[in-house]
Amino acid sequence: MTIARGAIAVLVSLVTLALLAGQVFALSEAQFPPLEHAIIAGCWLCAGATAVYFFRSASAWETQMACPGCGQHGTLTRSALRRARVSLLALIFFGVIPVLLYSHSRKHHFTCSSCHRVSNIRTAGGLVALLWLVFLIVSLIAALALEGAGEILSNDPPSRY
């Protein structure tokens, strides 16, 4: 494991522990509505999965991947065929973080060195990116629902800005 990967793993672990401690404190004080507790819990679960991913080296994750054709471990290499590209329109409309998460969570093309089969496989990092992407989308929908419910339930006139 490289020093940078280890530093990121420790940093993400500390953030996860801080989020968990804040969640326990908020639950004991009953400061937030239940939906916000669910969003915070989802955040620390995603951060925990990210920490687990970064504590192992990339080569350790790659040796666990098995070829779907022959079933051998450690024989897959990334194929230069059909590399994923990032759309400029998606970057403009959705922003950098969701587009990068989507791009990383896509299945990658691998070639098996023993049976020479080309396969589409989602890597461990891709699974973590997919988890973050789903969390981001669900949190955004929940935040919009909370904002909409807050405006509906309040007696104040709707905001103009």
Would you say residue 148 has pLDDT above 60?
yes
pLDDT over 90 percentage in the chain = 1
Q: Which two tokens stand for residue 84?
A: 């994923």
pLDDT of 100: 81
Task: Give tens-digit pLDDT for 76-127.
Answer: 887 776 666 777 777 788 788 888 888 878 888 888 888 888 888 888 888 8
Q: What is the pTM of this model?
A: 0.71
3-state secondary structure 67-107: CCCCCCECCEEECCCCCCCCCHHHHHHHCHHHHHHHHHHCC
pLDDT of 151: 54
pLDDT of 157: 56
Strand order in the sheet with 108-112: 76-78, 108-112, 118-121
Could you tell me which of 80, 73, 83 has the C-alpha nearest to residue 104?
83
Give the alpha-carbon dihedral of 33, 35, 36, 42, to 10 degrees.
Answer: 150
